Amino acid sequence: MVTRKTALSIPEELLAEVDRAAAQRGESRSGYITQVLRRAVRARRDAEVTRRLNEMFADDEARKEQSRTAEAMDSLGSDWSEEGW
């Protein structure tokens, strides 16, 4: 993975908290911040997907069709005994 250096202005007390959290996890400051940013970006993307799904299923016809499809699939049944659940 290609990385780039960047300069950020972060309040001193927040940076101290970041350093403590990184140390507790055995990570560098940079590694810790990278992980936090990845999770933030993923959470934003996931929230957008959820918003779109909610919007789609707010449509009464789409919700009814999804329900009919789920019922049809459920009526076929599944044998999960080999899955060890």
Using one digit for the tens of pLDDT, what is the confidence trace for 23-71?
999 999 999 999 999 999 999 999 999 988 888 778 888 888 888 888 8
Separation between Cα atoms, residue 29 and residue 41, nearest integer Å: 18
pLDDT per residue as tens digits for the range 14-24: 999 999 999 99
**Backbone phi, then psi, for 45, in 5-degree steps?**
-65, -45
